């Protein structure tokens, strides 16, 4: 019984230490991200589910400035100006405009990609990898809400730069979403109108404007 108690105490101390180390690392990542005026990320995105025999891969890029962002992916551009989300689909010549509601935003959107883990998760240190000479430390995040659609998230962090290198999200159905950062640039020259949607321009070009 005494040995069991010692083992349990050792286990809880180790678990607590890992949680504190993970929390400290994530705080550094968050502080680093918030210190930049803007961030430009080029990434690879993969969706897979072995049970359903599904595997899709694509590339994309996103520019972030505060809460605002411009995301290009799957032939679609999405602009968020802080109030509204504009989804532009050139193939259909259509723009959908929807008001942003923070209460309804439960997904890891571009504007939350670098800070989403600050609330709602328990976390611990996971594996460490060497990727082309870069030390990548993974942190495992598990939602506090037991009814959450997300099962867990693995966040790979470049230990030297404190930048996110990879995000692997697994949902309750076993679908895995993997985002791998190919390039991470900061404080780039950004046009003042980058996050502004010019409705008149798209109307002139014959686009259908769908306001929700």
Report the share of the chain in percent with pLDDT over 70.
84
Q: How far is CA 126 from the centre of its chain?
A: 18
pLDDT for residue 207 is more than 50: yes
Confidence of residue 159 (pLDDT cuts 50, 70, 90): very high
pLDDT single digits (tens) 97-109: 998 876 665 555 6
Q: Comparing C-alpha atoms, which of 14, 61, 56, 19 is closest to residue 38?
A: 61
Q: What is the pLDDT of residue 111?
A: 61
pLDDT single digits (tens) 21-49: 788 888 898 889 889 999 999 999 998 98
pLDDT for residue 77 is more than 80: yes
CATH of 16-189+197-211, one of 3.30.360.10, 3.90.78.10, 3.40.50.800, 2.50.20.10: 2.50.20.10
SS3 148: coil
What is the pTM (predicted TM-score) of this model?
A: 0.81
Query: What's the mean pLDDT when you consider all of the chain?
Result: 84
Q: Comparing C-alpha atoms, which of 155, 177, 176 is closest to residue 167?
A: 155
CB–CB of 94/208 below 8 Å?
yes
- Cα 64 to Cα 8: distance, rounded to the nearest angstrom: 45
Q: What is the pLDDT of residue 39?
A: 93
- Cα 22 to Cα 122: distance, rounded to the nearest angstrom: 10
pLDDT for residue 193 is more than 90: yes
- Cα 50 to Cα 30: distance, rounded to the nearest angstrom: 33
Q: Comparing C-alpha atoms, which of 158, 118, 119 is closest to residue 138?
A: 158
Mean pLDDT of 186-210: 93
Paired strand residues for 167: 155, 179
Q: Where are the domains of the chain?
A: 16-189+197-211
Q: Comparing C-alpha atoms, which of 53, 182, 36, 22 is closest to residue 118?
A: 22
Residue 176 carries which DSSP code? Answer: E
């Amino acid at each position: 019984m005494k040995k069991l108690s010692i083992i349990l105490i050792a286990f809880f101390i180790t678990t607590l230490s890992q949680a504190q180390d993970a929390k400290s690392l994530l705080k550094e990542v968050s502080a680093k991200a918030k210190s930049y005026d803007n961030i430009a990320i080029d990434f690879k995105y993969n969706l897979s589910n072995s049970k359903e025999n599904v595997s899709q891969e694509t590339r994309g890029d996103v520019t972030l400035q505060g809460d605002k962002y411009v995301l290009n992916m799957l032939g679609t551009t999405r602009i968020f100006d802080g109030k509204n989300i504009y989804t532009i689909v050139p193939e259909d010549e259509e723009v959908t405009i929807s008001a942003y509601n923070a209460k309804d935003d439960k997904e890891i959107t571009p504007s939350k990609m670098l800070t989403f883990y600050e609330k709602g998760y328990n976390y611990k240190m996971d594996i460490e990898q060497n990727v082309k000479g870069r030390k990548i430390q993974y942190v495992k995040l598990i939602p506090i809400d037991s009814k959450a659609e997300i099962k867990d998230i693995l966040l790979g962090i470049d230990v030297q730069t404190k930048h996110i290198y990879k995000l692997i999200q697994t949902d309750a159905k076993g679908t895995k979403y993997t985002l791998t950062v190919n390039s991470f640039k900061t404080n780039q020259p950004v046009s003042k109108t980058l996050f502004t949607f010019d409705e008149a321009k798209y109307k002139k070009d014959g686009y259908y404007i769908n306001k929700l």
